[in-house]
Amino acid sequence: MTLYSQQDKNIRKTWLLMCLFFIGVIAVGFVFSQIYRSPGILYFAVIFSLLMNFFSYWYSDKIILKMSGAKLADHDNHRELFHLVENLCITAGLPMPKIYIINDPAPNAFATGRNKEHAVVAVTTGLLERLNKAELEGVVAHELSHIGNRDILISTIVVVLVGFIALLSDFFLRFSFFGGRRDDRSDGRLQAILMIVGIALAILAPIAAILIQLAVSRKREFLADASASLLTRYPEGLALALEKISQYKQPMKMANKATAHLYISNPFGAKRISRLFMTHPLVEERVKALRGMEI
């Protein structure tokens, strides 16, 4: 698969994800509108799904920056970082992204935004303190590769949609237990159906959220690693950076399950989890691939 076909695939996956969210919310709204014989529930579901897609496209990056505690970097205080990013952007043919700093001793970084013209690269203070120039360059090149590969839109939108899926499951579960307005023809069977639907949503929605996150995370990391190596012409820099980052055992202060897939490395530190639920490939696999590259 070429880089350009991967970019097109990411765009298609983004639209597919938004369409599935739209259809899913409307389907749930239709079920409840039938149970409660209230067309207003369906109308609400349609409006809600449209607003969430609009909101996730235009504002999800701002939500992510707020959730991570990132602050806009000051050029005078971070001259070297700005120059490093600028030089890599010139080489990659990308516009200069906004640079944000996360005040956290854990070394990590992520990129977000809806496109390359509205992109953001965020790095932690721990990353700036622990990495040398070549290693930092490898990490920044990795994040710029996500921008160039058009990974950031789907990864950014996933954060908002996954969050709302969880909220919807909780809402409908509560709705099923406490019930709503029913007419005289309503009976125990309808209430039982309602409860079953609510419980099913509560169980399936978080699973769907995890599967969505996993679907957009692992392979894109290998592609971004490879693209970063081509950009810097020095795969060892990123390999050493990944090793240093993985050696840090403490989780980030603002670590969040919804945003974990955005970071270059697991923000929960050295926490052991099943490979089935890992949002990132093993560092050992990534380092091996980097050191096996011929530049």
User: Which residue has 């005040």 as its token pair?
Assistant: 103
Q: Pairing relation of β-strands 98-102 and 109-113?
A: unpaired
What's the CA gap between 263 and 110, in Å, rounded?
5
Alpha helices in the chain (DSSP H): 3-35, 39-68, 79-92, 125-130, 133-148, 152-178, 188-215, 218-232, 235-247, 283-291
Residue 168: C-alpha distances to residues 111, 177, 280, 288 (Å): 27, 14, 27, 41
C-alpha angle 17-223-135 in degrees, rounded to nearest 5: 125
User: Catalytic positions, please?
Assistant: 143
d(CA 208, CA 214): 10
The CA-based angle 144-147-149, given to 5 degrees, is 110
Question: Which CB contacts under 8 angstroms, 24+ apart, belong to 71-77?
Answer: 71/100, 71/101, 71/102, 71/103, 72/98, 72/99, 72/100, 72/101, 73/99, 73/100, 73/101
In our burial notation (b when 16+ CB lie closer than 10 A, e otherwise), range 17-30 reads bbeebbebbbebbe
Unique residue bearing structure tokens 């854990």:
106
